[in-house]
Chain A
């Protein structure tokens, strides 16, 4: 399968945070910040963007996990072996995006699994700001577009 990515358009994101609740509900039946695998960054109350795991090529979370609980599956998704995870949080510290969360009850980490290709955050987003991007090339071109837009605003 082609690798998939979640992409959020910062020109559309309004900081309504519905994606956070949708994610935590689907994964835990609770409306929770801690249990959500997606977060929304707020720069100065002016620019917002939802971020989640983007399956880095070089995966520091996997590299630094002392229990070998994390691995990458054939779709590129980072999978957590809940039996092996000790909840030490080492992967959270090493994640460059800060998008690994910990379930406070089970004390194991949780990483976006794209909801089997049908992500709840995409479904709930009222602005259609979050979408699934197929393939690394498309992901790169999307990021390129965003870069240009931000540069345009800065000029």
Chain B
């Protein structure tokens, strides 16, 4: 393949302390582009079904895109595939900050890390290869300390450290990989996979150039897209100004904020943690990931109260849910402090919030007795449990597992608010029907990131509760464009102002490869299908695509969306439509023979 790519991948075997460079056939770049596409291909080819996610056969597959390291706006993200120790199915996580560029400048489009190291190790990856170093002194350190120590030792500028914290070392099933302090490959537990490999950190330190096929036109296009994003109301006036919490007011007005373990419909005091409150009480200045003109992130400083002086990047929307509404605690200082703790320990805020809420519910139902009181609205209770999870102490050992294991152990089947064992993000699926659909069909489980349907629910259709076919059409349209933009590893935020023609243009100037819009749609479809197929081989089928029992049986008891409930018939209708659209059978099975033949053909 040509420009835009580094045209090689790096394989690192931790069991043997060896690394090797490989080339991929040109057709694979053509058909999977890069980023999520290339990652999906490598994932399907490399990671066997039915393996132990924390065993030597699981692999961490990092990919970057053709636009990584260029000024194409928001292209500074990396993608990561692995078998999830949390959900047992396909997982992909991604993260921004400075990581993606440094990865690519080492000279590779993908990094496959396999095996298990004999003892605690960290890796330094440069253009010259891989150095395996002992991480004995780093084991036990939190993610921030680890980055600081490594950077000080190394003394090199232009390096990014990906690291796990104690949660990853202790195999907390939803441990994250952290970079640049506050940027994380968060959900699905990649930190536990790293921990199981005794891999504490990976340093990327590269200087290679990235070239474009038609540099002048590619640069002009990038500049145009930057200009457009600065003029775009959604991007500049919303995301730039307020970051991810921007829609919080609208969400509160519609009753879309999950409250008290998804048991209530109104978050009393939401305005104390909403975007205006953040702006007024916390924000210091904007920060950006690589190549991003939007700079949605903000450096925040807690100015008063118990946590005064604490500095974090954020809090993002998900933190307002995880440590705010889900525990019914409208306190920005507390949210910021939990944010800081979860990042340092390297654990996913949404999953730990689900686990703690589940434990509180179990306690209230008399199913769990840790010897102390568990309750909502109680900061001390949250702190205590969170710390027990990090070290897997007492009931923390159970809370560090996945939600289904908790359900089984405590005899509470159907209680956890999850799909495919991944707890929902900060949108109530009984109210936000578009978000619910993306929870249902996302290959990694209850995640809304594939189509950001909250925008459709809240604004484009302005009716969260509607089950209209128009909403379905918007979902599949958005899923395709998001998937292709994920192949460049662009941010979810810019994807709203992009269409398939934009992607085709960028690819033409960047790589010299010309794509028809139709072809990009096919590529998107194929990516969904091979990931689905991998999950089908793990035993997933239509039965796993529904919301949990509680959503169909318990209506929202109060608030603006009082009475809202999931409708199984409507969900069935949308699932039928979705499978048909993707070319899968009634049970949600893609055509395996067809896909296998296609993949075979790529090696010619």
**Which residues of A does B touch, CB under 8 Å?**
11-12, 14-18, 21-22, 24-25, 29-35, 42, 45-46, 48, 124, 126-127
CA distance A24 to B207 in the complex (A): 13
Are B209 and A34 within 8 A (Cβ)?
yes
Query: B residues 141-169 with Cβ under 8 Å of A?
Result: 158
- Which residues of chain B from 291 to 328 have any CB-CB distance to chain A below 8 Å in the complex? 291-295, 299, 311, 313
Chain B nearest CB from A106 CB (Å) reads 13
Residues of A within 8 A of B292 (CB): 14, 16
On whether the beta carbons of B219 and A25 are closer than 8 Å, the reply is: yes
Nearest CB in chain A to that of B296: its residue: A14
Q: Beyond A35-B209, A124-B226, is A45–B286 a contact (Cβ under 8 Å)?
A: no
Chain A nearest CB from B340 CB (Å) reads 13
Shortest CB-to-CB span from B72 to chain A, Å, is 9
B71 lies within 8 A of A15 (CB): no
The contact string, 1 if C-beta is below 8 Å from chain A, for chain B 275-291, is 00000000001111111
Interface stretch, picked from B210-218, B425-433, B495-503, is: B210-218
Query: Which of B70, B180, B229, B295 touches A45 (beta carbons < 8 Å)?
Result: B180
Report B198-211 CB contacts with A as 1/0, cut-off 8 Å. 00000000010111
CB interface residues, B 84-108, toward A, < 8 Å: 97-98, 101, 105
Least CB distance, B73 to chain A, in whole angstroms: 8
List 18 other contacts, CB 8 Å, given A14-B295, A45-B313, A127-B286.
A11-B285, A15-B98, A16-B288, A16-B292, A17-B98, A17-B101, A17-B290, A21-B69, A25-B219, A31-B71, A32-B210, A35-B209, A45-B181, A45-B182, A46-B299, A124-B223, A126-B293, A127-B295
19 pairs from A and B in contact (CB 8 Å cutoff):
A11-B285, A16-B291, A16-B295, A21-B69, A25-B215, A25-B219, A31-B70, A32-B209, A33-B207, A35-B209, A45-B181, A45-B182, A48-B287, A124-B71, A126-B229, A126-B230, A126-B293, A126-B295, A127-B295
- Would you call the interface of chain A mostly helix, strand, loop, or mixed? loop
Give how many A-B residue pairs fall within 8 Å (CB-CB).
81
Interface of B is mostly: loop
When the two chains form the complex, which single residue of B212, B215, B293 contacts A16, counting CB atoms closer than 8 Å? B293
Cα-based distance from A149 to B295 in the complex (angstroms): 21
List of B residues within 8 angstroms of A34 by Cβ: 207, 209
B291 is contacted by which of A12, A17, A25 (Cβ under 8 Å)? A17
Cβ-defined contact, A16 with B209, below 8 A:
no
Counting chain B CB atoms within 10 Å of each CB, the highest count among A16, A24, A25 belongs to: A16
Chain B residues in 8 Å Cβ range of A127 = 286, 295
Is the beta-carbon distance between A15 and B209 smaller than 8 angstroms? no
Picked from B69, B71, B229, B299, the residue with its CB within 8 Å of the CB of A22 is B71
Q: What chain A residues lie within 8 Å of B215 (beta carbons)? A: 25, 29-30
Known A21-B71, A25-B219; contact A14-B226, beta-carbon cutoff 8 A: no
Report how far A30 CA is from B216 CA in the complex, Å: 10
* Cβ of B127 to closest chain A Cβ, rounded Å: 11
Chain A nearest CB: distance from B60 CB in Å?
A: 23
The 4 closest A-B pairs by CB, nearest first: A126-B293, A14-B288, A16-B288, A21-B71
Q: Which chain B residues border A45 with CB–CB below 8 Å?
A: 97, 180-182, 287, 313
- Cα separation A48 to B70 with both chains bound (whole Å): 20
Over the window 41-73 of chain B, the binary record of Cβ atoms lying under 8 Å from chain A Cβ atoms (1 yes, 0 no) is 000000000000000000000000000011100
A99 to chain B, nearest CB (A): 12
Tell me if A21 and B182 are in contact (CB < 8 A). no
Most chain A CB neighbours (cut-off 10 Å) among B216, B288, B299: B288
Q: Which residues of B contact A14 (CB under 8 A)?
A: 285-288, 292, 295
**Residue-by-residue, is B97-124 near A (CB-CB < 8 Å gives 1, otherwise 0)?**
1100100010000000000000000000
